[in-house]
Amino acid sequence: MEPRIIVALDFADADSAQACVNVLSPQTCKLKVGKELFTAEGPAFVSSLVRRGFDVFLDLKFHDIPTTVARACSAAANLGVWMLNVHALGGATMMQAARDALGQADDRALLVAVTVLTSLSDADLQQIGIQEGAAQTALRLAGLAHASGADGVVCSAHEAASVRERFGDAFLRITPGIRLADDSSDDQNRIMTPSRAVQSGASYLVVGRPVTRAADPTAVLRRIEFELTEKRGVH
Ligand code: C5P
């Protein structure tokens, strides 16, 4: 079965990231490369993960004028990544340009949109002129992403059910903030266990520190898989 766990490689350099990747396998997880590692190590590191057979989610959250974002998406797709993302706040024209840049091939990179950053409170949104609450804004932006041809959204597991209900199961929900029952929540505010997140409608789970900081990352992945399989009733 296709892995549903995306390990967030939030490392400062290639050596530390590599040490973690060396104990992981494309059969058990996908990988996410974000701004820190990409800025430090660049596209060559992303290509090296793709060559090793991993599905890579390039999490650079593009947000710029449509032409610039479209070109950035083409450049990212040329690295062979599985998924990339933009900010829905860039607007419909920008998201459509991003989607057009990825083409029609069956194996094209998937495009997902960030709705509202989970770090933003309702008060933060009001400061930037958005009067409706974060949950409502996230659902409205998910609608814009859906209408613009995006394949899904990055959202909190708490929003996954309403996104699935409104836009259907094929519109992906990528959810960070995942913690096993006995994990520390770190700086995440609204966390959920893997099985509850999937039951709530998450398509893929982004898991960072619970795996990357573990003494035995593969054991943690096995525990998550076990939890998911057990809850599905598959033995
Ligand atoms: O270590 P942890 O599991 O909290 O990592 C979560 C990952 O998901 C990080 O790479 C973080 O940047 C990312 N993320 C998030 N919340 C969002 C969007 C992305 O935690 N709303």
Q: Indicate whether 109 belongs to any domain.
A: yes
> In the prediction, which pLDDT does 12 show?
98
Q: Indicate whether 235 belongs to any domain.
A: no
Range of the structural domain that residue 84 is part of? 5-230
Cβ(202) to ligand 1 under 6 A?
Answer: no
> In the prediction, which pLDDT does 233 show?
53
Query: Is residue 65 within 8 Å of 94, Cβ to Cβ?
Result: yes
Query: Is residue 110 within 8 Å of 82, Cβ to Cβ?
Result: yes
Whether the per-residue pLDDT at 191 is higher than 70: the answer is: yes
Tell me the mean pLDDT in the region 6-35: 97
Give the number of the atom of ligand 1 that is nearest the alpha carbon of residue 188: 4
pLDDT tens digits for 52-73? 999 999 999 999 999 999 999 9
Query: Is residue 179 within 8 Å of 193, Cβ to Cβ?
Result: yes
Distance from CA of residue 92 to its chain's centroid? 20
Residues paired with residue 110 on neighbouring β-strands, in sequence order = 83
CATH of the domain at 104: 3.20.20.70
Q: Indicate whether 51 belongs to any domain.
A: yes
Percentage of residues of the chain with pLDDT beyond 70? 98
Whether the per-residue pLDDT at 231 is higher than 80: the answer is: no
Determine the distance separating the centroid of ligand 1 and the alpha carbon of 207, expressed in angstroms: 7
Tell me the mean pLDDT in the region 214-222: 95
Determine the distance separating the centroid of ligand 1 and the alpha carbon of 8, expressed in angstroms: 7
How many domains does the chain contain in total?
A: 1
Determine the distance separating the centroid of ligand 1 and the alpha carbon of 231, expressed in angstroms: 24
Whether the per-residue pLDDT at 234 is higher than 80: the answer is: no
Q: Indicate whether 168 belongs to any domain.
A: yes
> In the prediction, which pLDDT does 204 show?
98
Tell me the mean pLDDT in the region 141-146: 98
**In angstroms, how far is the first alpha carbon of the chain from the final one?**
14
> In the prediction, which pLDDT does 232 show?
65
Residues taking part in catalysis: 61
pTM: 0.95
Q: What mean pLDDT is reported for the chain?
A: 95
Whether the per-residue pLDDT at 79 is higher than 60: the answer is: yes
Q: Which helix (H) or strand (E) holds 112?
A: strand 110-114
Cβ(176) to ligand 1 under 6 A?
Answer: yes
Whether the per-residue pLDDT at 152 is higher than 80: the answer is: yes
Whether the per-residue pLDDT at 235 is higher than 70: the answer is: no
Determine the distance separating the centroid of ligand 1 and the alpha carbon of 226, expressed in angstroms: 22
SS3 195: helix
Cβ(61) to ligand 1 under 6 A?
Answer: no
> In the prediction, which pLDDT does 200 show?
95
Give the number of the atom of ligand 1 that is nearest the alpha carbon of residue 179: 3
Band of the pLDDT at 10, cuts 50, 70, 90?
A: very high
